[in-house]
Amino acid sequence: MDQDKREIVIPSQFLGEIKDKKAGNGTFVEKGKIYAEILGVLNNNSNYINVIPLKGRYDPVEKDFVIGIVIEAMQSSWLVDINAAYPALLHVNEVPWDIEFGETERYLNKGDSIMGKVLQVDQEKKLQITLKDRNLYKIKGGYISHVEPSKVPRIIGKKGSMISLLKKYTKCRIFVGQNGRIWIDGNEDGIKKVIETIKLIEDESLSYGLTNKIEDLLKKDTKEVH
Protein backbone atom coordinates (compact mmCIF):
# COMPACT_ATOMS: atom_id res chain seq x y z
CA MET A 1 0.00 0.00 0.00
CA ASP A 2 1.01 3.62 -0.42
CA GLN A 3 2.68 5.42 2.39
CA ASP A 4 -0.23 7.80 2.89
CA LYS A 5 -2.74 5.02 3.42
CA ARG A 6 -3.48 3.67 6.88
CA GLU A 7 -3.38 0.03 7.84
CA ILE A 8 -6.62 -1.93 7.81
CA VAL A 9 -7.03 -4.57 10.51
CA ILE A 10 -9.57 -7.38 10.84
CA PRO A 11 -10.97 -9.02 13.98
CA SER A 12 -8.59 -11.35 15.86
CA GLN A 13 -5.55 -9.65 14.36
CA PHE A 14 -2.67 -9.35 16.85
CA LEU A 15 -1.83 -5.71 17.55
CA GLY A 16 0.63 -5.62 20.44
CA GLU A 17 1.53 -6.60 23.96
CA ILE A 18 -0.31 -5.12 26.91
CA LYS A 19 2.96 -4.17 28.58
CA ASP A 20 3.97 -1.89 25.73
CA LYS A 21 0.68 -0.14 25.02
CA LYS A 22 -2.78 0.30 26.43
CA ALA A 23 -5.75 -1.31 24.75
CA GLY A 24 -8.13 1.33 23.42
CA ASN A 25 -11.39 1.28 21.50
CA GLY A 26 -12.10 -1.55 19.11
CA THR A 27 -9.67 -3.91 20.79
CA PHE A 28 -9.76 -6.64 23.41
CA VAL A 29 -7.13 -8.20 25.61
CA GLU A 30 -6.51 -11.89 26.08
CA LYS A 31 -3.56 -13.34 27.97
CA GLY A 32 -1.67 -10.06 27.92
CA LYS A 33 -2.03 -9.61 24.19
CA ILE A 34 -4.07 -6.99 22.37
CA TYR A 35 -6.23 -8.04 19.44
CA ALA A 36 -8.56 -6.15 17.12
CA GLU A 37 -12.23 -6.91 17.67
CA ILE A 38 -13.62 -5.08 14.67
CA LEU A 39 -12.90 -4.37 11.03
CA GLY A 40 -11.24 -0.98 11.02
CA VAL A 41 -8.25 1.24 10.68
CA LEU A 42 -5.33 0.93 13.07
CA ASN A 43 -4.47 4.00 15.13
CA ASN A 44 -1.24 3.39 16.98
CA ASN A 45 0.02 6.92 17.55
CA SER A 46 -0.58 7.60 21.23
CA ASN A 47 -0.25 5.40 24.29
CA TYR A 48 -3.28 3.53 23.21
CA ILE A 49 -3.89 1.13 20.38
CA ASN A 50 -7.22 2.01 18.85
CA VAL A 51 -9.15 0.53 15.98
CA ILE A 52 -11.45 3.00 14.26
CA PRO A 53 -14.34 1.05 12.75
CA LEU A 54 -14.92 1.16 9.00
CA LYS A 55 -18.53 0.05 9.21
CA GLY A 56 -21.20 -0.66 11.74
CA ARG A 57 -24.02 0.88 13.69
CA TYR A 58 -23.83 4.14 15.59
CA ASP A 59 -22.90 3.55 19.22
CA PRO A 60 -24.87 6.16 21.15
CA VAL A 61 -23.01 8.32 23.65
CA GLU A 62 -24.69 10.76 26.03
CA LYS A 63 -24.72 14.39 24.88
CA ASP A 64 -24.13 13.49 21.25
CA PHE A 65 -26.11 15.50 18.72
CA VAL A 66 -27.98 13.24 16.34
CA ILE A 67 -30.54 13.37 13.55
CA GLY A 68 -33.48 11.08 14.13
CA ILE A 69 -36.49 9.94 12.15
CA VAL A 70 -39.74 9.35 14.02
CA ILE A 71 -40.88 5.74 13.76
CA GLU A 72 -44.01 5.96 15.86
CA ALA A 73 -46.01 8.50 17.85
CA MET A 74 -47.33 7.07 21.11
CA GLN A 75 -49.63 8.55 23.76
CA SER A 76 -46.95 10.45 25.64
CA SER A 77 -43.78 9.80 23.71
CA TRP A 78 -42.26 9.06 20.33
CA LEU A 79 -40.01 6.29 19.12
CA VAL A 80 -37.16 7.68 17.06
CA ASP A 81 -34.71 5.87 14.80
CA ILE A 82 -31.23 7.30 15.34
CA ASN A 83 -29.34 4.65 13.35
CA ALA A 84 -28.33 2.84 16.54
CA ALA A 85 -29.05 -0.78 17.34
CA TYR A 86 -32.10 0.34 19.30
CA PRO A 87 -34.88 2.91 18.77
CA ALA A 88 -34.67 5.93 21.04
CA LEU A 89 -37.46 7.26 23.20
CA LEU A 90 -38.44 10.93 23.06
CA HIS A 91 -40.79 11.82 25.90
CA VAL A 92 -43.22 14.76 25.72
CA ASN A 93 -41.40 16.34 28.68
CA GLU A 94 -38.31 16.52 26.53
CA VAL A 95 -39.78 18.66 23.77
CA PRO A 96 -40.15 22.45 23.89
CA TRP A 97 -43.92 22.37 23.22
CA ASP A 98 -46.85 21.98 25.58
CA ILE A 99 -48.58 18.79 24.57
CA GLU A 100 -51.86 17.38 25.86
CA PHE A 101 -51.96 13.66 26.55
CA GLY A 102 -52.61 11.77 23.33
CA GLU A 103 -51.96 14.72 21.07
CA THR A 104 -48.40 13.83 20.18
CA GLU A 105 -49.28 13.26 16.54
CA ARG A 106 -50.13 16.93 16.07
CA TYR A 107 -46.51 17.89 16.65
CA LEU A 108 -44.38 15.05 15.38
CA ASN A 109 -45.56 12.22 13.22
CA LYS A 110 -44.16 9.10 11.65
CA GLY A 111 -41.51 10.01 9.09
CA ASP A 112 -40.68 13.45 10.52
CA SER A 113 -37.03 14.24 11.09
CA ILE A 114 -35.64 15.92 14.16
CA MET A 115 -32.34 17.16 15.46
CA GLY A 116 -31.91 15.78 18.92
CA LYS A 117 -29.45 15.18 21.68
CA VAL A 118 -28.84 11.85 23.35
CA LEU A 119 -30.07 12.34 26.90
CA GLN A 120 -29.41 9.01 28.47
CA VAL A 121 -27.99 5.58 27.67
CA ASP A 122 -28.54 3.06 30.43
CA GLN A 123 -27.06 -0.34 31.19
CA GLU A 124 -29.60 -2.14 29.07
CA LYS A 125 -28.84 0.34 26.29
CA LYS A 126 -32.27 1.90 26.54
CA LEU A 127 -31.95 5.24 24.79
CA GLN A 128 -33.57 8.57 25.53
CA ILE A 129 -33.19 11.69 23.46
CA THR A 130 -34.24 15.27 24.04
CA LEU A 131 -35.10 18.34 22.01
CA LYS A 132 -34.46 20.69 24.93
CA ASP A 133 -31.18 22.28 24.00
CA ARG A 134 -29.98 25.10 21.85
CA ASN A 135 -30.74 24.84 18.16
CA LEU A 136 -32.65 21.59 18.38
CA TYR A 137 -35.89 21.40 16.47
CA LYS A 138 -37.98 19.57 13.96
CA ILE A 139 -36.41 19.57 10.52
CA LYS A 140 -38.39 21.33 7.80
CA GLY A 141 -36.97 21.20 4.29
CA GLY A 142 -33.44 20.50 3.25
CA TYR A 143 -31.82 17.19 2.51
CA ILE A 144 -30.52 14.39 4.74
CA SER A 145 -27.42 12.53 3.62
CA HIS A 146 -25.89 9.43 5.18
CA VAL A 147 -22.31 8.47 5.95
CA GLU A 148 -20.77 5.74 8.06
CA PRO A 149 -20.96 6.94 11.70
CA SER A 150 -17.26 6.23 12.14
CA LYS A 151 -16.44 8.76 9.42
CA VAL A 152 -18.28 11.66 11.07
CA PRO A 153 -15.09 13.02 12.71
CA ARG A 154 -13.52 13.29 9.25
CA ILE A 155 -16.52 15.24 7.93
CA ILE A 156 -16.26 17.66 10.84
CA GLY A 157 -12.47 17.88 10.67
CA LYS A 158 -10.08 19.10 13.33
CA LYS A 159 -11.98 21.60 15.48
CA GLY A 160 -14.64 21.82 12.80
CA SER A 161 -12.22 22.87 10.06
CA MET A 162 -13.71 20.69 7.35
CA ILE A 163 -17.32 21.56 8.06
CA SER A 164 -16.68 25.31 8.23
CA LEU A 165 -14.87 24.99 4.92
CA LEU A 166 -17.92 23.38 3.39
CA LYS A 167 -20.20 26.05 4.82
CA LYS A 168 -17.94 28.83 3.58
CA TYR A 169 -17.69 27.67 0.00
CA THR A 170 -21.22 26.39 -0.57
CA LYS A 171 -23.21 28.84 1.60
CA CYS A 172 -25.33 25.96 2.88
CA ARG A 173 -26.58 25.33 6.36
CA ILE A 174 -25.22 22.00 7.53
CA PHE A 175 -25.87 20.00 10.67
CA VAL A 176 -23.82 16.86 11.22
CA GLY A 177 -25.31 14.27 13.56
CA GLN A 178 -22.88 11.98 15.31
CA ASN A 179 -24.99 9.07 14.07
CA GLY A 180 -23.89 9.60 10.48
CA ARG A 181 -26.85 11.61 9.25
CA ILE A 182 -26.13 15.03 7.81
CA TRP A 183 -28.75 17.69 7.21
CA ILE A 184 -28.06 20.18 4.45
CA ASP A 185 -30.14 23.19 3.49
CA GLY A 186 -29.44 25.87 0.91
CA ASN A 187 -29.77 26.38 -2.81
CA GLU A 188 -29.84 23.42 -5.13
CA ASP A 189 -26.31 23.72 -6.47
CA GLY A 190 -24.96 24.16 -2.97
CA ILE A 191 -26.65 21.02 -1.73
CA LYS A 192 -25.34 19.09 -4.70
CA LYS A 193 -21.83 20.33 -4.06
CA VAL A 194 -22.00 19.44 -0.37
CA ILE A 195 -23.22 15.91 -1.10
CA GLU A 196 -20.48 15.39 -3.67
CA THR A 197 -17.83 16.65 -1.30
CA ILE A 198 -19.10 14.52 1.58
CA LYS A 199 -18.96 11.48 -0.66
CA LEU A 200 -15.38 12.38 -1.54
CA ILE A 201 -14.41 12.84 2.10
CA GLU A 202 -15.94 9.48 2.96
CA ASP A 203 -14.10 7.72 0.15
CA GLU A 204 -10.77 9.29 0.96
CA SER A 205 -11.20 9.37 4.71
CA LEU A 206 -8.05 7.36 5.17
CA SER A 207 -5.62 9.69 3.42
CA TYR A 208 -3.70 12.42 5.20
CA GLY A 209 -3.98 16.17 4.55
CA LEU A 210 -7.55 15.80 3.39
CA THR A 211 -8.74 19.22 4.58
CA ASN A 212 -6.23 21.00 2.33
CA LYS A 213 -7.11 18.79 -0.60
CA ILE A 214 -10.81 19.54 -0.21
CA GLU A 215 -10.16 23.26 0.17
CA ASP A 216 -8.23 23.36 -3.11
CA LEU A 217 -11.03 21.50 -4.80
CA LEU A 218 -13.77 23.78 -3.50
CA LYS A 219 -11.74 26.88 -4.37
CA LYS A 220 -11.24 25.69 -7.92
CA ASP A 221 -14.93 24.94 -8.35
CA THR A 222 -16.06 28.32 -7.06
CA LYS A 223 -13.72 30.05 -9.48
CA GLU A 224 -15.20 28.14 -12.37
CA VAL A 225 -18.68 29.29 -11.45
CA HIS A 226 -17.81 32.98 -11.39
Partner 1 sequence: MKSEIKLFENGKRLDGRAPDELRKITIKAGVLHRAEGSCYLEWGGNKVMVAVYGPREAIPRHTQNPLRAIVTARYNMAAFSVDDRKRPGPDRRSREISKVISEALENVILVEKFPRATIDVNIEVLDAEAGTRCAGLTAAAVALVDAGIPMKDIPVACAAGKIDNQIVLDLGKDEDNYGSADLPIAISPRTGEILLLQMDGHLTQEEFDKAFDLVLKGCNAISEIQKKAILEKYQSEQGGN
38 part of the interface to partner 1, by CB under 8 A: yes
CB 203 within 8 A of CB 184: no
225 part of the interface to partner 1, by CB under 8 A: no
Alpha helix stretches (DSSP H) within 20-158 = 152-156
Report which DSSP code applies to 214: H
Give, to the nearest 10 degrees, the angle between helix 161-170 and helix 188-203: 150
Minimum CB separation of residue 4 from partner 1 in Å reads 11
The 10 Å Cβ neighbour count of residue 209 is: 8
x/- contact string, 183-212, with partner 1 (CB under 8 A)? --------------------xx-x------
180 part of the interface to partner 1, by CB under 8 A: no
**Residues in region 77-96 near partner 1 by CB under 8 A:** 85-87
> Which residues lie below 8 Å from residue 88, measured CB to CB, with a gap of 6+?
60, 68, 79, 80, 81, 82, 116, 118, 127, 128, 129
Minimum CB separation of residue 2 from partner 1 in Å reads 7
8 part of the interface to partner 1, by CB under 8 A: yes
Whole-number CA gyration radius for the chain: 20
Between CA 117 and CA 115 the distance in angstroms is 7
Minimum CB separation of residue 86 from partner 1 in Å reads 5
Interface region with partner 1, contact rule CB under 8 A, candidates 90-98, 110-118, 119-127, 209-217:
119-127
39 part of the interface to partner 1, by CB under 8 A: yes
Task: Return the residue of 54, 69, 74, 89 that touches partner 1, per CB under 8 A.
Answer: 54
Residues that bind partner 1 (CB under 8 A): 1-2, 5, 8, 10-12, 26, 28, 30, 35, 37-40, 53-57, 85-87, 123-125, 203-204, 206
